[in-house]
Structure 1
Amino acid sequence: MKDDFLADSARALFAQHGLDRFDALWALELDHVDAPNTGRGGWSSVSRLELADANGAVQAFYLKRQIDHLSRSLRHPLGEATFAREFRNIRRYQHDDVPALEAVFFGQRRIAGKVCALLVTRALDDHKPLDRWLAEWPALPRATRRAIVDAVAGLARTLHGAGHLHNCLYPKHLFVRVDGGRATARLIDLEKTRRIVLGTRDRARDLDALNRHTRGPAATERLRFLLRYLGRDSLDDAATRLADHILRRRHRKAARR
């Protein structure tokens, strides 16, 4: 595959630095932000890339490169690069107006018989992962906490309304920005996302994962989240049924431990 994707928003900047080609990005020597992933029988790494534009302002990105780091499915029984799957999902979210990370470059090659892929995404430096907000939760102003709850609930509502199951909806994968008392949220890590096929059961899967891994919010704030997610002002049968699905799923998981 040699039909590389380069977003219009980054085309001039990448061309300015001679990085508008797969081989140039692949050859970059950058520090890894954490230890490379050697699972799936391959290798995958993430590096931070900072480029100054024509005005001298620095734009930040994350450059992800992998070799034979494959996922297998019925559609791809021999495996496909996990970045290919993530790139495809990023584009689907963009098409469906689900706020998420922005892909600016994707390319894939077979080098020495190995599947090599790279994905560049724009850094969300003006956001913080939800788990960092949660670490400060008791000290946050009440209005800020409410704004974050509403933003996350609204994003989950948009996600599921578009027919997508994130399938890994943990606080570290939700990035939140608070500006002037208003909060906005975006999703990252879209490798495992899929279409919703089981209705409430699928939606409860995402909401249960988020609920179980969220520490800090009080019961009233969790209720606020549920009502904002459902677009309700008070508890009704729909809210009660969904809460029941989430709690039953939590109890089943706890019983298996």
Structure 2
Amino acid sequence: MSDFIAAQDRALLERHGLTHFDALWALKLEAVDEPNTERGGWSSVYRLDLGETAFYLKRQSNHLTRSLLHPLGEPTFAREFRNIQRYAQLGIPALQAAFFAERRVPGERRAVLLTRALDGWQDLDAYLLGWATLDEARRTAILNACGELARRLHQAGQMHGCFYPKHIFLRERADGFDAQLIDLEKTRPLLFGVRDKVKDLEPLLRRASVWSEAQVRLLLVAYLAGDADLDSWNARLGARRLNKEARR
């Protein structure tokens, strides 16, 4: 895979001398969290501010994922970058890639992924923490935004795989909320229809435990858009939740 530079970010990266893998790899930055050391390598995330535009720079070494197409493994960022591109092509709101490249050096497989920071957006987890303080209109708007995001995702034939509150980002506007997704590493096509859709939605509802039954129904109304029986979906989601809790 050749190096990728987003057209909208090329000029900015060029002004800062950051259009090459080595330049981004060598940047001295403070990680925003502890490195991920699973999979036999490491992976870290850093914030990069270039004037008024902010990015998150992700670097990894020997942090590989294996699949039928890549039995020997490939950098997890390579998979995430492909999914970011797929979401863009399918019109699914998600984070934007500014740069991606990978390199092989003796004993290492390195990868760099630069994405635009979601400044002005807030994850659903943050709204859930203050759910009791939100007025009814804002609650309904958030539920509608989450339901519509899930509908767009599944109508495009994709399953997120980690459809959790921390991966759903919201931005308030005058007449509601925009919503988009991050963390696309586990995305895959919907292979098993309703079963996969339920598998995607149930973890969100389980983690959003502050939502009442009526609020869950509002989200499902937005998700289904009148195309299916609400009670049957509630039953499927409830059965999966009981099954998951019984395994604990």
Partner of 1:55: none
Residue in structure 2 matched with residue 15 of structure 1 by the alignment: 14
- Give the distance between the partners of 2:202 and 2:186, measured in 1 at CA: 16
TM-score scaled to structure 1, two decimals? 0.94
Letter in 1 for 2:240: R
Counterpart among 103, 112, 133 of residue 97 in structure 2: 103
Name which of structure 1's ranges 110-119 and 76-85 shifts more when overlaid on structure 2: 110-119
Counterpart Cα distance in 2 of 1:221 and 1:145: 8
CA distance in 1, matches of 2:169, 2:97: 16
TM-score (norm 2): 0.98
1:5 aligns with 2:23: no
* Aligned match of 1:164: 158
Instruction: Report the alpha carbon displacement of residue 221 of structure 1 after superposing the two structures with TM.
Output: 1.0
2:229 is paired with a residue whose SS is: helix
Distance 2:116 2:149 in 1: 19
Q: 1: distance between equivalents of 2:219 and 2:155?
A: 16
Contact 1:143/1:181, CA 8 A, preserved across alignment: no
Counterpart Cα distance in 1 of 2:78 and 2:91: 20
**Which moved further from structure 2: 218-227 or 26-35?**
218-227
Q: CA–CA distance in 1 between the matches of 2:98 and 2:60?
A: 17
Does the residue aligned with 1:242 lie in a helix, a strand or coil? helix
Deviation at 1:237, TM superposition (A): 6.1
| Partner deviation per Cα, 1:194-213 (whole Å, 9 max, x = no partner) | 00010000000011011011
SS in 2 for 1:105: strand
Q: Secondary structure at the match of 1:10?
A: helix
Post-superposition offset of 1:90 = 0.4
Q: 1:118 aligned to 2:108?
A: no
Q: What is the aligned partner in structure 1 of residue 76 from structure 2?
A: 82
Asked if structure 2 preserves the Cα contact closer than 8 Å seen for 1:144 and 1:181, the reply is: no
Cα deviation digits, residues 129-180 of structure 1 (max 9, x gap): 0000111111112111111111110000000000000011100000001122
Aligned to 2:44: 45
Indicate the residue corresponding to 2:53 in structure 1: 59
User: RMSD in angstroms over aligned alpha carbons?
Assistant: 1.1
Q: Return the alpha-carbon distance in structure 2 between the equivalents of residues 30 and 45 of structure 1.
A: 11
2:243 counterpart of 1:256: no
In the alignment, does 2:216 pair up with 1:209? no
Question: What is the aligned residue count?
Answer: 248
